[in-house]
Amino acid sequence: MCPPVDIPDSDAALLAECEVETFRAGGPGGQHQNVTDSAVRLRHKPTGLTVTCRAQRSQYLNKMDALRRLRLKLVKLNAPPPPPRRATRPSRAAVERRLAAKKGRAVVKRLRRPPAGDD
């Protein structure tokens, strides 16, 4: 597992650890989106994590949103891994109880049928 990553408290310090790339956001948004480089891609140099944000028309707002997303990814990266899952299977007694109940339901249904007529 990777050693824990030190996450700076301030946005400016975290931004200093990143490569910032701006580009034109594609997709719907009209003429304004076609002429401004408002989309932001942050690449965290120590870990290699990449975050892209192009939701807003403002480059500043996209940068703040990308920093928030990067911070969440770094916290998730530092979290301990979940414990391994253990395979479980029902006990022999539980299987026998289930089969006995199934057999009992079948008997009850069979008794509900009309009697076979011997003509």
- pLDDT tens for 15-58 read 999 999 999 887 766 676 677 888 999 999 999 999 999 988 88
pLDDT value of position 21: 94
pTM exceeding the 0.85 threshold for the entire prediction? no
Three-class secondary structure assignment of 49-107? CEEEECCCCCHHHHHHHHHHHHHHHHHHHHCCCCCCCCCCCCCHHHHHHHHHHHHHHHH
Which strands make up the sheet holding 39-44, listed edge to edge? 18-23, 39-44, 50-53
Q: Which residue has the higher pLDDT, 10 or 3?
A: 10
Residue 1 confidence (pLDDT) above 60: no
Distance of CA 108 to the CA centre of its chain: 47
**Residue 58 — φ and ψ, nearest 5°?**
-100, 130
User: Domain 11-78 maps to which CATH number in 3.30.160.20, 3.40.50.150, 3.40.190.10, 3.30.1340.10?
Assistant: 3.30.160.20
CA dist 7 and 75 (Å) reads: 8
Q: Secondary structure of the chain: what % helix, strand, coil (to 5)?
A: 45, 15, 40
For residue 61, name the pLDDT band (cuts at 50, 70, 90): very high
